[in-house]
Amino acid sequence: MSSPRDRIIEITFDLFAKQGYNSTGINQIISEAGVAKASFYLHFKSKEDLCVEFLKVRHQYWFNELYTFSSGTNDLPERLIRAFDFLIEMNKKENFRGCSFLNILSEIPVDNVKILNVIQSHKADLRNYFLDMLKDEVLSDHIYMLFESSIIESQLFRSNELIEKSKKIITNLIP
């Protein structure tokens, strides 16, 4: 069985995805994770601290999966296509949950810089992922914007159609 901390993070992922950040209470997380209240507060001082840790764990998981999925080729267009194929795979795996970071962003107050900083850091790392690959800031930002909009649109319409169209755009952008 996993540790209380791991169970809390795991339950948090499910509850935030189903109910959202604001509608998920600490008592529900404690109950569904099967941990004592004292155990929760041993690991996390607040729901905000739990959210920050959840996002950090999610970031690490998500990038590990992205790197694994898009590795195995040195062909640049193919690596880019694989990154978009990764979105299709995540949609299948997570039933079009969308971006955990943007989902939470839509629920936090604008002055919650603690959570906002983690979200911005995740998105900066994603921009850098494409910049490291393409070595061209304008082109990499273009691909990043296609990638981000593909996540949002696929969640909104519960469809991979625009991801597939983005892949076609990439093949025209990158010879």
Percent of the chain at pLDDT > 70 equals 100
d(CA 144, CA 130): 7
Q: Identify the CATH homologous superfamily for domain 46-173.
A: Tetracycline Repressor, domain 2 (1.10.357.10)
**Structure pTM?**
0.94
Q: Where in the chain is the domain with CATH 1.10.10.60?
A: 1-44
State the average pLDDT over residues 3-7: 95
Give 96-127 pLDDT, tens digit per residue: 999 999 999 999 999 999 999 999 999 999 99
Q: How many CB atoms lie within 10 A of CB 136?
A: 13
CATH superfamily of 1-44: Homeodomain-like (1.10.10.60)
Q: Using one digit for the tens of pLDDT, what is the confidence trace for 35-76?
A: 999 999 999 999 999 999 999 999 999 999 999 999 889 999
Structure tokens at 75: 């062909």
Give the CA count within 13 Å in the CB-facing half-sphere of 2.
11
Domain with CATH 1.10.357.10 in the chain: 46-173
pLDDT number for residue 139: 97
